[in-house]
Chain A
Amino acid sequence: GESVGLHLPTLSVQEGDNSIINCAYSNSASDYFIWYKQESGKGPQFIIDIRSNMDKRQGQRVTVLLNKTVKHLSLQIAATQPGDSAVYFCAETPNTGGFKTIFGAGTRLFVKA
């Protein structure tokens, strides 16, 4: 079955600090990974992606790290801002064709001003 989170873990950080959000993925056949940000009542918003032939990718204020050995993905947000408060989901796309995406459980990020 697909990943469905029953309770969202929460990360609370001070404004200006760095945030690290972790995710364990399930399918060793996945070759494409994406982080999404979802604000209340809205659809997911693409943040950054990484393919399985890489272990690190940087964007503006965000970095994604991929450890295929332990099937672990992390999202680092530098200098976290109040506008970063949202739920963050990792997602994986198995290389079985069809571009199907499976979402992880999600982490709620609270940024304290």
Chain B
Amino acid sequence: GAVVSQHPSWVICKSGTSVKIECRSLDFQATTMFWYRQFPKQSLMLMATSNEGSKATYEQGVEKDKFLINHASLTLSTLTVTSAHPEDSSFYICSANLRFTDTQYFGPGTRLTVL
């Protein structure tokens, strides 16, 4: 149990286009989901906290207009990278908390490459 999926697993896009990444909790409800970015050989950096039915909370230095987060249901959060540029190329990982617990389950990640 407690499986989190991400779609797509990898995506290549042209500079200036927008890309949507989905994060789903498959067998549990998640009131809170988190989005991380990871550059090669670096740690995971928290981008934002996504709460179902409310606006996401962004970490300092993360542009909310560039990284749009929507948490429409207890099992789905989406991250849209708008007007993507090569420096946005990274590994994006989501996680979901079992409802009202601090146990986080991570998705497999999405590799974004912007040409």
Tell whether A103 pairs with B43 under 8 Å between CB atoms, given A41-B109, A41-B111, A42-B109: yes
Q: What 1/0 flags go to A58-95 for Cβ under 8 Å of B?
A: 00000000000000000000000000000001000100
A-B residue pair count with CB separations less than 8 angstroms: 69
Cα distance, A51 to B43, chains bound together (Å): 22
Name the A residues within 8 Å of B61 (CB-CB). 1
Q: Please count how many residues in chain B sit with their CB below 8 Å of the partner chain's CB atoms.
A: 30
Contact A43 B108 (CB under 8 A): yes
Cα distance, A93 to B106, chains bound together (Å): 15
Q: Does A113 contact B (CB under 8 A)?
A: no
Cα distance, A3 to B61, chains bound together (Å): 13
Q: Does B97 contact A (CB under 8 A)?
A: yes
Tell whether A4 pairs with B104 under 8 Å between CB atoms, given A98-B32, A98-B49, A101-B34: no
Contact B106 A6 (CB under 8 A): no
Name the B residues within 8 Å of A100 (CB-CB). 34, 46, 49
For residue B42, give the distance in angstroms from its CB to the closest CB of chain A. 5
Name the B residues within 8 Å of A43 (CB-CB). 4, 6, 93, 95, 106-109
Contact A4 B43 (CB under 8 A): yes
For residue B91, give the distance in angstroms from its CB to the closest CB of chain A. 8
Contact A42 B108 (CB under 8 A): yes
Cα distance, A4 to B106, chains bound together (Å): 18
Q: Which of B16-57 contact A (CB under 8 A)?
A: 32, 34, 36, 41-46, 49, 57
Which residues from chain B sit less than 8 Å from chain A, CB to CB?
4, 6, 32, 34, 36, 41-46, 49, 57, 59-61, 91, 93, 95, 97, 101-109, 111
